[in-house]
Amino acid sequence: MIKDQEVANIIRKEENKQQFKLSMIPSENFFSADVRKAVGSVFMHKYAEGNVGKRYYEGNQFVDKLELLTIERAKKVFSLPENWSVNVQALAGSNANLAVYLTLLNIGDTIMGMYLPDGGHLSHGWSYEPKVEQNPNELTYMGGSRKVNISSKIFKTVQYKTNPNTQLFNYDEIERIALEHKPKLIITGGTAYPREIDYQRMKQIAEKVGAYYLADIAHEAGLIAAGVNKSPVGIADVVTMTTHKTLRAGRGALILANKEMIKKINRSILPGLQGGPFNHSIAGICVGLGETLNPEFKEYASQTVKNAQFLCSELQKYNFQIVSGGTDKHLILIDLTNKPLLGKKFARALDYAGIIANMNTMPQEKQSPANPSALRLGTPWITTRGMKESEITLIAAWINQVMEICSQWNELEFADFENKVKSSPEIATIANQVQELCMNFPLEI
């Protein structure tokens, strides 16, 4: 244990939280002890500016071996075409996306991504106009004066929405928007779209308007690696991903593209955006990629989707409205507009009951992002623990109980609401039941 007792105490509390609560945020997962050991290895001591065989500092022969092994494993895991390669140095998903933009675009070019409240991502060009309510039936979004991400500050952005009736992509409408605005880059992927994406159709749209196509698979990477979801590799011009969600391979990012484009992307990473890569993170990614090649990983990925789909069906029994009617992935989005509690209060109440989720916007959102209409839930972490359908039945019942218990305080201000939840014996009882379940599925901490 760490000798610094202040830090050690904080770590111990975080360990207990992870061990005895149900982590159901879809962008989180629990890594193996081997991944964690690799991340905590001596590779964190070394500076390695440059790429394999072309470092600015001496003493990087083993960093070279590590990067080469990581690249080869990524090629195998994602079944890359012979003429494709990988950048393993991007520190995070947003960095990876920005490196792609810097490679393919000029400042001021138009990029087209998914509307953030419908499930897109900040790094895909989000901006907004404060205190201006959006028309949910207007399927093109042009942003606003509040440029909250660098992508919207340096590029012109246009965003497509989901269909107001189905909450799914309308590819004909996306094509119409692309034809009107002629983006240089079209992006798919995001944080809360629960359905599979038609990569072939998106590539056709991009080709029709002369755009590059970037598939951001940060959320689905592990499901794609296991063959549970379809892959955009060999279809999109570039594929980016984070490695810590369904891929379960430590913190970092991967960029996949043809070899010539990867050479340019490498230069956008260094010297364009970063100094030296985080070699210890790459070590963790390498170990995690190795683990995806085991049969157990495919079982985990398949069960992750089964658990999410079963959770949808169980929650619907309690009259929870599921955005798009279900899921093809590891995440679900609950429309809470027919319930007494919206996202912010419900997420906080669930946390006190031992279930960690997050408030989220949803298609046709009318609330502020600070108190949105939806709750986002995911199954990667609980599936990693070994939980299956019988446990999902319990979890869905607890979620409903929390809603029923806390509905009586829905009119209170948030601080007063939280105090009521915190002192509720019924919520404490659920938290104890959750802890008992977690103890039957212990994490290897």
Which residues carry out catalysis? 47, 49, 216, 242, 245, 251
Q: Torsions phi, psi of 182, nearest 5?
A: 50, 60
Category of 444 on φ-ψ map: left (φ > 0), alpha (ψ -120 to 50) or beta = beta
Compute how many other C-beta atoms are within 10 angstroms of the C-beta atom of residue 286: 24
User: Do the Cβ atoms of 86 and 112 come closer than 8 Å?
Assistant: no
Q: Which residues contact 248 (CB under 8 A, 6 or more apart)?
A: 29, 30, 31, 32, 35, 222, 288, 291, 292, 297, 300, 380, 384
Of 203, 207, 258, which is closest to residue 230 (Cα–Cα)? Answer: 203
Mapped onto helix, strand or coil, the DSSP state of residue 27 is coil
Q: How far, in Å, CA of 385 to CA of 45, rounded?
A: 32
User: Rounded to whole angstroms, how far apart are CA atoms 51 and 89?
Assistant: 9
H or E, element range at 315:
helix 295-317
- The maximal CA–CA distance of the chain, rounded, in angstroms, is 65
Instruction: Please report, as a single letter, which amino acid is at residue 267.
Output: R
Q: What is the CA radius of gyration of the chain?
A: 22
The answer to whether the beta carbons of residues 380 and 304 sit under 8 Å apart is: yes
> Do the bridges between strand 253-258 and strand 84-87 make them parallel or antiparallel, or are there none, so unpaired?
antiparallel
Written as six digits, the tokens of 165 are 């009736």
Unique residue bearing structure tokens 């279900």: 326
For the chain, report the end-to-end CA distance as a whole number of angstroms.
12
Closest to 445 (Cα-Cα) out of 23, 6, 37, 165: 37
Contact call for residues 31 and 284 (beta carbons, < 8 A): yes
Give CA–CA dist 439/376, Å, rounded. Answer: 24
396: its two tokens? 């869905």
What SS3 class is residue 282? helix
Helices (H) and strands (E) in the chain, counts: 16, 18
Q: DSSP states of 352-373 as a string?
A: HTTEE-EEE--TT--S-TTS-S
